[in-house]
Amino acid sequence: MKIKRALISVSDKAGIVEFARQLANYGVEIISTGGTMKTLREAGIPVTYVSDVTGFPEIMDGRVKTLNPYIHGGILALRDNPEHTAAMERHNIKGIDMVVVNLYPFRQTIAKPDVTLGDAIENIDIGGPAMIRAAAKNFQYVAVVVNPERYTEIIDQLAAKQEISAEFRMALAQEAYHHTAEYDACIAQYLGKQLDNGQFPETMHAVYEKVQELRYGENPHQQAAFYREKYGDGFGIANAKQLHGKELSFNNIVDVEAAYGIVGEFKQPAAAIIKHTNPCGTGIGKTLAEAYGKAYEADPVSAYGGIVGLNREVDAITAEEISKIFIEAVIAPSFTPEALTILTRKQNIRLLTADAVDADVAEFDIKKVSGGILLQDRDTRDAEIEDMKVVTKRPPTQTEWEQLMLAWRVVKHVKSNAIVVAANNQTLGVGAGQMNRVGAAAIALAQAGEKARGAVLASDAFFPFRDTVDTAVTAGITAIIQPGGSVKDAESIQAADEQGIAMIFTGMRHFKH
Catalytic residue among 38, 137, 246, 346: 137
Helices of type H across 13-165: 16-25, 34-42, 50-54, 69-76, 82-91, 106-110, 117-122, 127-137, 151-161
Closer to ligand FAI by CB, 66 or 251: give it. Answer: 66
Please state the closest distance from residue 414 (CB atom) to ligand FAI, in A: 51
Residues of 100-136 as b/e, b for ≥16 C-beta within 10 angstroms? Answer: bbbbbebeebbeeeeeeeeebeebbbebbbbbbbbbb
| Residue 76 CA neighbour count, 13 Å, CB half | 14
Candidate list 35, 95, 192, 464; residue touching ligand FAI; CB under 6 A = 35
Please state the closest distance from residue 214 (CB atom) to ligand FAI, in A: 37
Task: State yes or no: residue 148 binds ligand FAI (CB under 6 A).
Answer: no
Please state the closest distance from residue 42 (CB atom) to ligand FAI, in A: 13
Please state the closest distance from residue 132 (CB atom) to ligand FAI, in A: 8
Task: State yes or no: residue 232 binds ligand FAI (CB under 6 A).
Answer: no
H helix or E strand, kind and range, residue 377: strand 372-377
Give the binding range for ligand FAI (CB under 6 A) out of 61-69, 166-174, 295-303, 360-368: 61-69
**∠ CA 240-181-188 to the nearest 5 degrees?**
90
Rounded to whole angstroms, the Cα distance separating 400 from 454 reads 9
| Residues paired with residue 279 on neighbouring β-strands, in sequence order | 274
Closer to ligand FAI by CB, 36 or 447: give it. Answer: 36
Closer to ligand FAI by CB, 128 or 281: give it. Answer: 128
In the range 238-267, which residues lie near ligand FAI by CB under 6 A? none
Rounded to whole angstroms, the Cα distance separating 244 from 307 reads 14
Task: State yes or no: residue 192 binds ligand FAI (CB under 6 A).
Answer: no
Give the binding range for ligand FAI (CB under 6 A) out of 29-37, 89-97, 113-121, 436-444: 29-37
| Residues paired with residue 161 on neighbouring β-strands, in sequence order | none
Catalytic residue among 4, 178, 276, 346: 276
Closer to ligand FAI by CB, 47 or 477: give it. Answer: 47
Report the amino acid identity of residue 301.
V
Closer to ligand FAI by CB, 47 or 457: give it. Answer: 47
Please state the closest distance from residue 185 (CB atom) to ligand FAI, in A: 17
- Identify whether 276 is a catalytic site residue: yes
**451 Cβ partners below 8 Å, 6+ apart?**
423, 428
Task: State yes or no: residue 104 binds ligand FAI (CB under 6 A).
Answer: yes
Q: How many CB atoms lie within 10 A of CB 37?
A: 21
Candidate list 125, 400, 402, 489; residue touching ligand FAI; CB under 6 A = 125
Task: State yes or no: residue 103 binds ligand FAI (CB under 6 A).
Answer: yes
Rounded to whole angstroms, the Cα distance separating 429 from 443 reads 7
Give me the DSSP letters along 121-173. HHT--SHHHHHHHHHHHTTTT-EEE--GGGHHHHHHHHHHHSB--HHHHHHHH
Q: Looking at residue 373, what DSSP letter applies?
A: E
Site string for ligand FAI, 481-500 (x = CB under 6 A): --------------------
CA quadruple 192, 198, 202, 205: dihedral, nearest 10: 60
Closer to ligand FAI by CB, 180 or 252: give it. Answer: 180
Give the binding range for ligand FAI (CB under 6 A) out of 27-35, 170-178, 422-430, 431-439: 27-35
Rounded to whole angstroms, the Cα distance separating 485 from 462 reads 6
Please state the closest distance from residue 10 (CB atom) to ligand FAI, in A: 6
Candidate list 36, 278, 427, 492; residue touching ligand FAI; CB under 6 A = 36
Give the binding range for ligand FAI (CB under 6 A) out of 95-103, 242-250, 276-284, 403-411: 95-103
Rounded to whole angstroms, the Cα distance separating 117 from 180 reads 21
Give the binding range for ligand FAI (CB under 6 A) out of 8-16, 320-328, 391-399, 501-509: 8-16
Rounded to whole angstroms, the Cα distance separating 129 from 127 reads 6
Task: State yes or no: residue 101 binds ligand FAI (CB under 6 A).
Answer: yes
Candidate list 1, 5, 11, 363; residue touching ligand FAI; CB under 6 A = 11
Rounded to whole angstroms, the Cα distance separating 300 from 4 reads 70
Enumerate binding residues for ligand FAI (CB under 6 A): 9-11, 33-36, 62-67, 101-104, 125-128
- Catalytic positions are 137, 276
